[in-house]
Amino acid sequence: MSNILHPNLNFKEPTLDVHGKPNKRWRSAFAAIYFARALYSLLHQKKEKRRKLPAPSSSPSYVVLNVKPEAFSSIDQTTLTAIAKEKNLDLLLQFGGIEGVVGALETDIKNGIGGAVQDVALRREVFGSNTYQRPRAKSLIQFMVKASKNHTVTLLLLFAALSLGFGIKGHGLKEGWHDGGSIFVAVILAISVSAVSNFRQNRLFETLSKVSSNINVEVIRDGHRQQISIFEIVVGDVVCLIICDQVPADGLFLSGHSLKVDESCLTGESEHVEINSLHNPFLFSGTKVVDGYAQMLVTSVGMNSTWGELMSTISSDINEQTPLQARLNKLTSSMGKAGLAVAFLVVVALLVRYFNGNTENEKGNQEFIGRSTKVDDMVNSMVRIIATAVTIGLVAIPEGLPLAVSVILSYSMNRMMADQAMVRKLSACETMGSATTICTDKTGTLTLNQMKVTKFWLGKSHVDDSSSISKNLLNLIRQGIALNTPGSNYRATSGSTLLEFSGSPTEKAILSWAVQELDNMKMETLKKNCTILHVEAFNSEKKRSGVSIRSKADNTIHVHWKGAAEIILAMCSSYYDASGSTNDMDDDERTIFEQIIEGMAASSLRCLALAHTQILDDQEEHDIGVGPPQKLIKEDSLSLIGLVGIKDRCRPGVRKAVEDCQSAGVSVRMITGENVFTARAIATECRILRPDQDMNDESVVEGEVFRNYTQDERMEKVDKIRVMARSSPFDKLLMVQCLKQKGHVVAVTGDGTNDAPSLKEADIGLCKGIQGTKVAKESSDIIILDDSFVPIATVLGWGRCVYNNIQKIIQLKLTVIIAALVINVVTVVLDHEIPFTVLKLLWVNLIMDALGALALAIEQPTKDLMEKPPVSLSTQPLITNIMWRNILVQALYQIVVILILQFSGESILGVNKKVKDTMILNTSVLCQVFNQVNARKPEKKNVFKGMHKNKLFLGIIGITIILEAIVIESLSKFADTERLSLGQWGTCMGIAILSLPIGWVVKCIYV
């Protein structure tokens, strides 16, 4: 296309390139533009004549019109959506069927889209991206508003307003705003700390949600299979689906075999839907593949898809309350009610004393003298009495506990993320610390999931070189491997000689071995030479896959089976030898094959078998043409081709992780689909079983045997079982249910869609981050990002650490509350005034709630913690006898010290009242600082062990002391304090530091 510029006409006239061919669309466009130019020119000339305008300048202006055909003009998103969502076959046929839609979307059934950056970007612009519009997350301001909707905060703000008003009235604006303004600042600061903590936690969950939703999907682009993020899928992509996959977008069935999907998430119907190209080629995002495999054409993504519309209505707001938070809220409510009751009684007592004339003002005169009392004086006295009540009530309400729990959970979630464990549900942080048993998979969790064929038995002979195998038998082996698989091989890049393989790790291992060892097997050639008649795809229940094919060369029909060795062996009545001859299999020879399988399994090899039979002409109609679907492929009287041994090495660190769990009182059980001998070998290697463990001690059982037990037998034997082999997803679910009924707190690992019921049933569902399907991830509580068992042991430690750290904070907080409550009540009754004003108490609470919680929240799991038995959240009290011992002794010490200073401090220390009040505040804060050190080890005498490694803890202690010094020395006017001398600071420090030896002594008391 070339362009001719016309001055002053504000457009480009398009002309056709000499190599192009004019068409109707371009002729229409040219005619329209030419007509517009002519009309514009006439109008312009009339205006010039009427207005007698001067000639136009010699510098023309130009506007370039980019005239080109619209991208994907033959079909739009509305049409694509109507075809898929409405299952409109008639509309699909109007576009030429699936092939017509493929052409309209400018893709290729075999090679997919081109995959160039510009092409993908254009498709995303025209048809949208595969992302969902979720409701906007709460802002920081919204969290601050929510934090301020609290009865205590409302009371404090009201009191601050009264204090501010009466202060300004009594002392003028310059001096009178200090008390009320300082309380306002302290309250706003407390609200901000809570809001920021909750805001960050919410943002963390948003991030984790995006990570967990980001799964890899296999697509074909530019003729190459590749893994891409589900968010990168665009309309026109060709997606490969296998069993347990979740359909990533709406689309149409292109090719495949025996595909069935579960649409219950959309329709509520539990019956599986068969998908094929003739009657029902429609696939919907969010549905799950339950059988078969296929390739699909993506027609709708993101908000245009069925699942996108549903997900856009689901709020991402996190309002989950963990069990521990619920228990703390009850504790807070109970203590608050007790505090308010005490405050009410104190107010009543003070009012009675005031109106009886038993109180005196600062000059020593009687405050209430009947009608002679001024209204202002009476109001001031009422405000003072209310302030006292507010202070006492504030002391008793541990409002900082929920904040402390949020801080601990957020910190723990971040640390677990660094340890390859992503928490999806907050409650899992706590529940994991109570786990008594872990049911784990083998493949990918205990092992590396990096499989390699290491042994091959042909008949009864071990084969190292394919050259010893007859040509006809070698062709059968290649045929059975290449055609009986959902996997494939492909060139890594155009022109590359390096082959890559797709499919499950097992499929990739067999394909790789066949290509490298079986005289360079060529899959594409084998597929072209045969027609696939029927396919039975592999799944975790059948543990086998089969295919029937028709050879194009001689029109013969062959059946190939592949699967678990003992299952395939049971289907065989003969076997091949290296020469290609078949031999009948009697009982003695069957025993030999069973011994070969056991020998490979004892070497920790996964054993698979290959079998074959040829369908004769007189059998074809019976075996292939008629009968129920499950009998479409001949299943008996097969000839065993060979046995394949696949090695999957144990992960480094798994043995130690298993031993750590066992030393923590947590039993580890392996639930696998492997045969009993392979399962036993792997379990022994990982130390789930002892090397000397008796074969007949009921610690190893097969899934079918466990399933066939009566309920009473299962309940009796389940505690002894450590390995369940040849298990199905139903067997795993049954095991979880039995363990829970026995009172265990169960953690379960899983990765497939079929594992979802077990993950939901378990107390803690642990999904694999790499191999896990989207369905499994959504059913889980924690995602193990690297699929390994090692992070599970780490998560177990963090779960216990969360509970332990919360108990430490409760111990510290209750010590402050009890001490302050008793001190305030006693001083009010005996001395008519309290040492802790509202402002001072807010400062102490802020230190404890923010800095104190943070200091104890960052304590990490220790070896001692992993040597304790699991904690029962349902039966064990939140505040243990050991904690009560520490709380009461430390509170008693603080009560005695502060009361002595309150009543005799001026005479003992030789200071005035204001200095004495300042020293009381300083001593109280420093007591809490050193009590934080005591709280690190509630049961251990040596509280300093490991403290030097926790730099953040030491830093927070230092910051607390510095802030206290600033309040005392620099903010005396606002905090109503007096500057202290070094000697006075030393006295406060000396009194506070005595908390450490007292803590050591009290731990000698056995409770």
Task: Pick the catalytic residue from 250, 291, 441, 660.
Answer: 441
d(CA 874, CA 128): 49
d(CA 819, CA 690): 53
d(CA 681, CA 129): 48
Q: Is 755 part of the annotated catalytic residue set?
A: no
In this structure, what DSSP letter does residue 360 have?
Answer: B
Identify the helix (H) or strand (E) that includes residue 613.
strand 605-615
In which region does residue 520 sit, left (phi positive, over 0), alpha (psi from -120 to 50) or beta (all else)? left
d(CA 566, CA 836): 78
Q: Which token pair is 549?
A: 């094919």
Identify the helix (H) or strand (E) that includes residue 112.
none
- Per-residue burial over 900-928, b = 16 or more CB atoms within 10 Å of its CB, e = otherwise: ebbeebeeeeebeeebbbbbbbbbbbbbb
Contact present, 4 and 30 (Cβ < 8 Å)? no
Q: Which token pair is 670?
A: 């392996």
d(CA 627, CA 614): 18
Q: Which of 426, 407, 428, 445 is nearest to 791 (CA)?
A: 445
Three-state DSSP class for residue 14: strand
Residues facing 667 on adjacent strands:
437
Contact present, 176 and 169 (Cβ < 8 Å)? yes
Max Cα–Cα distance, the chain, nearest Å: 124
Distances in Å between the alpha carbon of 321 and those of 71, 331, 408? 50, 15, 14
Write out the E strands in 801-857: none
Q: Which of 201, 146, 202, 214 is nearest to 317 (CA)?
A: 202
Distances in Å between the alpha carbon of 534 and those of 483, 484, 801, 967? 11, 10, 55, 82
Q: How buried is 73 (Cβ within 10 angstroms: 0-12 exposed, 13-18 middle, 19+ buried)?
A: exposed
Nearby residues of 929 by Cβ (< 8 Å), 6 or more positions away: 957, 960, 961, 964, 992
Q: Helices 178-213 & 400-418, crossing angle to 10 degrees?
A: 30
CA angle at 306 for the pair 301 and 310, rounded to the nearest 5°: 110
d(CA 432, CA 780): 13
Q: Which token pair is 806?
A: 């919360």
Q: Which of 601, 678, 651, 647 is nearest to 452 (CA)?
A: 647
Q: Which of 449, 433, 411, 414 is nearest to 789 (CA)?
A: 449
In this structure, what DSSP letter does residue 851 have?
Answer: I
911-917 LR contacts (CB < 8 Å, sep 24+): 911/984, 912/978, 914/977, 914/978, 915/978, 915/980, 915/984, 917/835, 917/976, 917/977, 917/978
At residue 700, φ and ψ (nearest 5 deg) are: -120, 130
Q: Which token pair is 267?
A: 């329709």
The number of helix segments (H) and strand segments (E) in the chain equals 36, 28
At residue 782, φ and ψ (nearest 5 deg) are: -135, 140
Catalytically annotated residues: 441
